[in-house]
């Protein structure tokens, strides 16, 4: 369209101006007296109309600016969560759908405990972002009924991996013992004399037990299932500890999203929001010992009994501390250092997922672990769906890496069968 000349634009402005309308109207010209009488009123009216028009412009600009600013913060800082969508929902009078309910604001001193949490809200508010304890999901798990006598009766002679210490955490050593021997002493923990069964293969080797574990809707998407079984991380680790037993302070292998279901007893936790590695004295270049030999991110500090003399910067580290009860499922986001402490005899199952929210970070770790040459990926890799991207990476994992993974699992099973003492594992 051609641009209008400035005189035409001027004329149009004149025509539509309210004060001009009154001045030029027939009514205006028909009677000088009437005109004279009405002129102050008409002048005021035109003034009012102009003011109203200015006010409308002002309010419209204000709304527009609020929208732009809130969208900006929404996307970049999660600062005014969902301001814009709330305004729109309010204006349109529509009830807030799940996607529009704002996430609660974490005050960095605790973790949300949630029930009736929808998958959509989990993905939007927690998955790969913030830890959450889900309180209503484990009650139907048959594993909630596992007891010492059940396990000893059915699996007493099977060897399990455990660690034990007669001193601080950093003196703990790994052993393989028949489950019944561990169970005999499981009630005997003391602050510096405790044992902890941490077995990644026990459920893998006794798969009927897996049927006693549920499959929470939050964890159904799991791209680890796309990996060849030789290098797929073992899933569902049995954790059974005496009072005072504890894990190390670590990020999970492959930087996955971790889960922990407490079946009996309770756990105290310290979770460290990302960005504090320098305060945790994270050891460099450690390997995790999983089938795909990933990097391990462990801290030498026992966050439940820290040695500030040796690790002074740890004083500045900010942890979220909370307690997880039996029947609670904790979901730990990718990238969060965490440590658990069992104040009394406690049994739990930990597990993991790679999903649409964390797969990019997990793939980074898989590249490092598997000596994978990312240049072999298809050109359109970034445009593929999350699942297709994982499939593309799996296709270029070298054969010898897969073979090495198979040997790692075999070696560990051999150790469990034949040797009393095992290599200290990563948790």
Ligand X SMILES: O=C(O)CCC(=O)C(=O)O
Tell me the closest approach of the beta carbon of residue 247 to ligand X, in angstroms.
3
Query: What's the min distance (Å) between Cβ of 154 and ligand X?
Result: 23
> What gap in Å lies between CA 286 and CA 295, rounded to an integer?
6
Let me know the angle formed at the C-alpha of 23 by 17 and 29, rounded to the nearest 5 degrees: 150
The side-by-side arrangement of strands in the sheet containing 132-134 is 112-114, 132-134, 329-332, 257-264, 346-353, 237-241, 194-199, 159-165, 173-178
Contact 328, 262 (CB under 8 A): yes
| Nearest to ligand X of 330, 416 (CB atom) | 330
Residue among 314 and 337 whose Cβ is closer to ligand X:
337
Query: Whose Cβ is closer to ligand X: residue 169's or residue 231's?
Result: 169
* Integer Cα distance of 63 and 71 in angstroms: 12
Give, as ranges, the residues between 317 and 376 that touch ligand X (CB under 6 A): 338, 340, 348, 350
Can you tell me which of 132, 133, 237, 377 binds ligand X, judged by CB under 6 A? Answer: 237
Cα–Cα distance measured from residue 179 to residue 156, given in angstroms and rounded to the nearest whole number: 5
Residue 369 Cβ, how far from ligand X at the closest point, in Å? 17
Query: Which range of residues in 151-159, 184-192, 252-260, 294-302 is near ligand X by CB under 6 A?
Result: 252-260
Rounded Cα gap, residues 60 and 66, in angstroms:
10
How distant, in Å, are the alpha carbons of 184, 236, 345, 364 from that of 416? 19, 18, 24, 31
Q: Helices 83-92 and 32-76 sit at what angle, rounded to 10 degrees? A: 140
Determine the 3-state secondary structure of 362 from DSSP.
helix
Q: Which two tokens stand for residue 383?
A: 């445009």
Among 247, 255, 357, 358, binds ligand X (CB under 6 A): 247
Closer residue to ligand X, CB minimum distance, 189 or 258: 258
Q: Where are the alpha helices (DSSP H) in 274-351?
A: none
For ligand X, the binding residue among 165, 242, 260, 358 (CB under 6 A) is 260
Nearer to ligand X, 247 or 422 (CB): 247
Q: CB of residue 68 vs ligand X: minimum separation in angstroms? A: 42
Question: Exactly one of 131, 189, 233, 258 binds ligand X (CB under 6 A); which one?
Answer: 258
Write down the least CB distance from residue 368 to ligand X, Å: 19
Between 231 and 237, CB nearer to ligand X: 237
- Selected from 221, 230, 252, 345, the binder of ligand X by CB under 6 A is 252
Q: Is 246 helix (H, G, I), strand (E, B) or coil?
A: strand
- Least distance to ligand X, CB of residue 79, Å: 31
Size of the residue set binding ligand X (CB under 6 A): 12
Of 132, 164, 203, 239, which lies in the binding site for ligand X, with binding defined by CB under 6 A?
Answer: 239
Q: What's the count of helices (H) and strands (E) in the chain, helices before strands?
A: 12, 15
If one asks whether residue 238 binds ligand X (CB under 6 A), the answer comes out as no
Q: 183, 345 in Cβ contact below 8 A?
A: no
Q: Which is nearer to ligand X, 70 or 352 (CB)?
A: 352
Query: Interface with ligand X by CB under 6 A: which residues?
Result: 237, 239, 247, 252, 258, 260, 267, 338, 340, 348, 350, 427
């Amino acid at each position: 369209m051609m641009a209008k000349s400035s005189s035409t634009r001027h004329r149009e402005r004149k025509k539509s101006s309210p004060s001009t309308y009154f001045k030029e109207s027939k009514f205006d010209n028909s009677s000088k007296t009437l005109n004279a009488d009405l002129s102050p009123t008409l002048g005021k009216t035109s003034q009012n109309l102009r003011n109203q028009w200015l006010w409308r412009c002002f309010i419209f600009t204000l709304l527009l600016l609020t929208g732009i600013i809130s969208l900006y913060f929404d996307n970049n800082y999660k600062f005014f969560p969902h301001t814009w969508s709330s305004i729109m929902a309010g204006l349109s009078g529509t009830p807030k759908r799940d996607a529009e309910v704002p996430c609660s604001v974490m005050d960095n001193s605790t973790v949300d405990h949630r029930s009736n949490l929808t998958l959509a809200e989990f993905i939007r508010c927690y998955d790969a972002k913030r830890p959450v304890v889900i309180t209503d999901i484990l009650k139907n798990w048959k594993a909630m009924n596992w007891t010492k006598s059940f396990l000893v009766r059915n699996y007493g002679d099977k060897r399990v991996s455990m660690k034990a210490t007669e001193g601080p955490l950093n003196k703990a050593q790994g052993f393989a013992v028949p489950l019944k021997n561990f169970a005999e002493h499981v009630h005997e923990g003391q602050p510096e004399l405790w044992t902890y069964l941490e077995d990644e293969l026990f459920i893998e080797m006794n798969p009927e037990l897996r049927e006693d574990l549920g499959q929470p809707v939050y964890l159904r998407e799991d791209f680890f299932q796309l990996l060849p079984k030789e290098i797929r991380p073992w899933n569902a680790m049995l954790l059974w500890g005496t009072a005072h037993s504890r894990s190390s302070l670590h990020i999970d292998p492959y930087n996955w999203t971790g889960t922990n279901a407490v079946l009996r007893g309770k756990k105290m936790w310290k979770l460290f929001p990302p960005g504090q590695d320098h305060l945790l004295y994270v050891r460099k270049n450690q390997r995790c010992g999983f089938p795909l030999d990933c990097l391990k991110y462990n801290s030498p500090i026992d966050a439940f009994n820290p040695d500030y003399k040796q690790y002074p910067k740890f004083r500045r580290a900010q942890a979220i501390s909370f307690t997880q009860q039996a029947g609670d499922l904790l979901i730990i986001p990718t990238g969060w250092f965490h440590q658990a402490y069992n104040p009394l005899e406690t049994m739990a199952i930990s597990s993991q997922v790679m999903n649409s929210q964390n797969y990019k970070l997990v793939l980074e770790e898989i590249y490092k672990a598997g000596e994978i040459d990312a240049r072999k990926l298809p050109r359109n890799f970034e445009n593929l769906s999350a699942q297709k991207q994982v499939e593309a990476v799996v296709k270029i994992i070298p054969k010898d890496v897969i073979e090495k993974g198979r040997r790692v699992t075999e070696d560990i099973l051999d150790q469990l069968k034949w040797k009393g003492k095992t290599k200290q594992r990563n948790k």
